[in-house]
Amino acid sequence: MEQQVPSLAIILLSENLEKLHAGSLVGSVASMSGMTVNVFVTMNALKAFKKENFENENFVTGTIGKEMLAKKIPLFNELLKEGKENGVLHIYGCALAMDIMGWEKKDMVDIFDDVIGVTKFLGMAQGAQVITM
């Protein structure tokens, strides 16, 4: 009997740097541990992935987020890239939220595999453990 690879679906919806980092860390480690990971970036989380906001470190932060920026800790994008390079991790932008804001994939940090709708993401997440951050 074929054993199914465990899968994880992470929904990033907060613009809070600590939540983005935590969700990206969990996804990256899960991917490198052999899980299939799908990350859906939606609502306010998309702001942090917008090129100009990312380049200007225009993030909502708490105490730890401020320290991360001050100490130049690799940010969520680096964690996600590491997960993609060393495992099976896919990142998707939310089509509805991006459409509302008038943003396109080219406006975002170059990490998204695609921009998709919720229905398509839910199909990918079927049977997966789901985490919302």
What does the pLDDT read at residue 2? Answer: 59
CB count, 10 Å around CB of 52?
8
- Rounded to two decimals, what is the model's pTM? 0.95
Torsion angle (degrees, nearest 10) of CA 124, 40, 88, 128: -40
Spans of the chain, pLDDT less than 50: none
Q: What pLDDT digit, counting tens, does each position of 73-83 carry?
A: 999 999 999 99
Angle between helical axes of 76-86 and 17-32 (0-180°, round to 10): 10
What does the pLDDT read at residue 27? Answer: 98
Going from N- to C-terminal start, the domains of the chain cover 7-132
- Those residues whose C-beta lies under 8 Å from the C-beta of residue 13, and which sit 6 or more positions away, are 42, 43, 44, 45, 132, 133
Please provide the CATH number assigned to the domain covering 7-132. Answer: 3.40.1260.10
